[in-house]
Amino acid sequence: MDLNNIKRVYFIGIGGIGMSAIARFFNEKGVHVSGYDRTETALTRQLAEEGMQIHYTDDVQLLDQEAELVVYTPAIPGSHSELIWFRQQGYEVVKRSDVLQEITRNLYAITVGGTHGKTTTSTLIAHILRHTGYGCNAFLGGISANYDRNFWSSNKQVAVIEADEYDRSFLKLHPDVAVLTAIDADHLDIYGTEEEVQEAFIQYTRNIKANGTLVAKRGLHRADELKGDHHIWYHLDDNKADIHATNIQPTEGGYMFDVVQKDWKLANIYLPVGGTHNIENTVAAIAVAHLLGIEDEKIKAAIADFKGIKRRFEYLVKNDYQVYIDDYAHHPEELRALISSARALFPDRKCIVLFQPHLYTRTRDFADGFAESLSLADEVLLLPIYPARELPIEGVHSEMIAKKISKPVQVIQKEDVLAWVKANSAPLFITAGAGDIDQFREPVQEILNGKGIIDNEEVKKDA
């Protein structure tokens, strides 16, 4: 696959977060980019505004017959008629991971893998490299709030890549620096067992290039089996790690802290993003930046300017009367980190979580874990399961989680959500999930901002 001479590329599933980054890569190089996706979204509208041709009907009459390369996401079913047509006609049809492997073959690759934390960590690293002038090409799994993009290019022959474990696609990458944030059971519909998940991440570290570095969280399962000629172990606050945070102080919805490494210290770091897990992600990013020789003060300035990632502990409303946080959390550990961090930052506010379970298999496999994490809230609203690529499984539904939650809980339909928000007080409101729960972001934000204005006026009248 020679990417240098390709003039036309067609994407099946172009609106996916990983697919769209690669589509933007080609588009910026002047390649004709077109594709299909199931539904129009804010991201696909952005791609269209950037000049890409996109349609939303699986129809072979609409595809690009002149395409020299066809890229598809593994989330697309094998029965997709456009995918079948291209294969039957003998086109070069590859997964996005194959393209990413080829793009990064000759670059200094910094990859970030893990069952959670990888989007924030990879975006932080890429932001630091961009902000400080070091430079990098970034292929991210989320939309950077600083740049409103999940991809950017640079003349610097360095790439920061979010390494997605779904479908084992991250095993095609061969990093110079590999970050590993977590090895928790997930995607059991793909891997089958937790042991197979762990094996895949061990293989991820085996792919590190000679004289390369593994930057891994201290305390991971089977840590003694992880590879890499050089190791840096990081942690939130474990002083036995090679690098960790200390003197952590919440401030204005973010944190001040120091980072300590042997014979080196970076003091008075300000992270304007909530969530103690994001401090740990920042420690990993700082470890990489320091490894690359970036100056201390430039690192601090970049972190202070970090605005986060859309749908990663994202403040949509934050004032004296109301806090509304939206997050992509769809695994029990991610929910635990999200809810516990929000409660620590706003301890006096009643916390209500609206959660949309993602996938029938994940709900079935982790119902107990979801219930335990959601019970950290004061009240829980559960939407029906978002099926994504799956067909329903008999007996698997949101009630599986609801009956195990120890706090007030109700299963609510999508059409009833906005009426509930209008009728109820939620001083700390969180929406979480990886499905289409993001459709509620703007309308909920508008409702809660309106409530804040009303509350403010009532306070003034009472005064």
Residue whose token pair is 């939303």: 56
Instruction: Confirm whether residue 363 is marked as ligand binding.
Output: no
At 180, list the tokens. 């590993």
In the Cβ-directed half-sphere of 367, how many Cα atoms lie within 13 Å? 15
**Phi-psi region for residue 201, left (φ > 0), alpha (ψ -120 to 50) or beta?**
alpha
Sequence-separated (6 or more) residues with CB below 8 Å from residue 431: 324, 325, 326, 327, 353, 354, 355, 437, 438, 440, 441, 444
Annotation-wise, does 115 bind a ligand? yes
Say how far apart CA 66 and CA 89 lie, in whole Å: 12
- Indicate the angle between helix axes 296-304 and 276-291, nearest 10 degrees: 150
Read off the amino acid at residue 6: I
Q: Is the dihedral of CA 390, 395, 397, 400 positive or negative?
A: negative
Say if residue 120 carries a ligand binding annotation.
Answer: yes
Residue 369, annotated ligand binder?
A: no
Taking the C-alpha atoms of residue 357 and residue 330, their distance in angstroms, rounded to an integer, is: 7
d(CA 341, CA 345): 6
Residue 355: strand, helix, or coil: strand
DSSP string, 42-68: HHHHHHHHTT-EEE-S--TTTS-TT-S
* C-alpha count within 13 angstroms, C-beta hemisphere, residue 444: 30
End-to-end C-alpha distance for the chain, whole angstroms? 71
Please report where in the chains the tokens 């989330």 appear, as a residue: 75
Question: Rounded to 5 degrees, what are φ and ψ at 146?
Answer: -65, -40
Residue in 12, 16, 104 with CA at minimum distance from that of residue 60: 12
Does the annotation place 118 within a ligand binding site? Answer: yes
Answer whether 189's CB lies under 8 Å from 390's CB.
Answer: yes
State how far the alpha carbon of 35 is from the alpha carbons of 29, 188, 299, in Å: 17, 30, 38
What are the C-alpha distances in Å from 213 to residues 116, 184, 291, 292, 328?
20, 22, 9, 11, 29
Q: Is 72 helix (H, G, I), strand (E, B) or coil?
A: strand
Annotated binding site: 114-120
Annotated binding site for ATP: 114-120
